[in-house]
Amino acid sequence: MSDDRPIALDEYPVHQAPLSMKHLVTSDRNAYDRCIFQVFDHQGRALLIAGLGVYPNTGVIDAYATLRLGDRLHAVRASDALTDDRMNLAVGPLRITVDEPLRRLTLHCDADPDDPGSLSYDLTWSADFPAVWEPHHIQRRGDRLMLEGRRFVQAGSCTGVIRVAGEEIPVTAGEWTGTRDRSWGVRPIPGEEGGRAAEELRPEGFHWLWIPVRFEDRFLMVIVQEGADGHRSLNEAVLVRDGERDIQLGWPHTDITYRPGTRDPRSAVVHLTDQARKPLELGVEILASSPLAVGAGYPPAADWQHGTWQGRGWTDRHVYDLSDPAAHPMAAYGVTDHSARFTLDGRTGHGIFEHGSFGRHDPSGFTGYESVAP
């Protein structure tokens, strides 16, 4: 039996439906509300990815953090029962505090009390540019709505300290960049039978790019989603500057140089167009890579995925060896976040080149799920 008393959020004029803020308008079990942060240095030594999500219709809250340092990926994951205190963004050793909405947030991870050398951090994330909406994202499989999400993205700076394996890594302004994404809606979580759609309507291919880039005086966001034949279902290229109207930069096309025998990008050029139809080239140099299917809980992770019930007070830590890609075969079928150095119109910036390419993709010359770059 549930307790239907009002909750604290009901005191505020934020309702979107004649329901308590405890309840969602949709009863879809896949409803979610979550965030992701990428924090990385400009030399490519460290890449920290952290996030937190709530799944109101399955009663789960979970969070994760991974740190890529050399060939080691240090991971912390935590899950618990969702409570009515939706302003408390904490689970296990992981916590996010909204100090000033859309301007400043604090990211925190406690060390394992039994292992002082385990991953921990205290970071302040500060926005350098306004948040910008991403396109409304919808995916269907046949007639079934699989994903409908609303997201905003933002770039900023980070300060603080990361501790791991007896080392303290200072995170200093000007030498590190932070990007983040906030999304909510409906997105598949494990545990649901796919039925006929999963068996008969399996996608032939999927190609994804999500590229937030911070320059000193501007923020650039590029998104591309394509199917097997190259048909584009999601597209965005926008330039953001504080106090100015966002500028659209046309229909982006990307030339990616992959490492031989893989679909891991080594470098890329994103072709854009300014308002005067002048071609612009966004150069991409990959610095460090973190597969989201290893440690971070994104599909097709084999050990833990977001939104799954692990029981109350579940916490897990693991260190993965990424020196041998064959040890993590499913990572190739998930999305990878790459920290990168970018060049555009004489400027140098830093950001994330998030990429996933699975199955057939005609524009890239990939013929199926086993196809890789020559």
Residue 369 within a domain: no
The domain of 234 spans: 28-185+204-364
Q: How far apart are CA 109 and CA 251, in angstroms?
A: 40
**pLDDT of amino acid 282:** 98
**pLDDT of amino acid 3:** 67
Phi-psi region of 178 (alpha: psi -120 to 50; beta: other; left: phi over 0): beta
Strands 265-273 and 253-258: antiparallel
Residue 44 within a domain: yes
Alpha helices in 137-213 (DSSP H): 195-200
Q: What is the mean pLDDT of residues 317-322?
A: 96
Residue 356 within a domain: yes
Residue 15 within a domain: no
Residue 82 within a domain: yes
Radius of gyration of the chain from its Cα atoms, rounded to whole angstroms: 20
Percent of the chain with pLDDT over 70: 99
When the pLDDT of each residue in the chain is averaged and rounded to a whole number, the result is: 95
Q: What is the mean pLDDT of residues 163-180?
A: 96
For residue 309, give the 3-state DSSP assignment.
coil
Residue 41 within a domain: yes
Q: pLDDT tens digits for 219-274? A: 999 999 999 999 999 999 999 998 889 999 999 999 999 999 999 999 999 999 99
Q: How far apart are CA 299 and CA 333, in angstroms?
A: 8
H helix or E strand, kind and range, residue 197: helix 195-200
Residue 163 within a domain: yes
Q: How far apart are CA 249 and CA 32, in angstroms?
A: 31
Number of domains in the chain: 1
Residue 192 within a domain: no
Q: pLDDT tens digits for 181-206? A: 999 999 999 988 777 777 787 889 99
pLDDT grade for 1, boundaries at 50, 70 and 90 = very low
pTM value surpassing 0.85: yes
CATH number, domain containing residue 99: 2.40.370.10
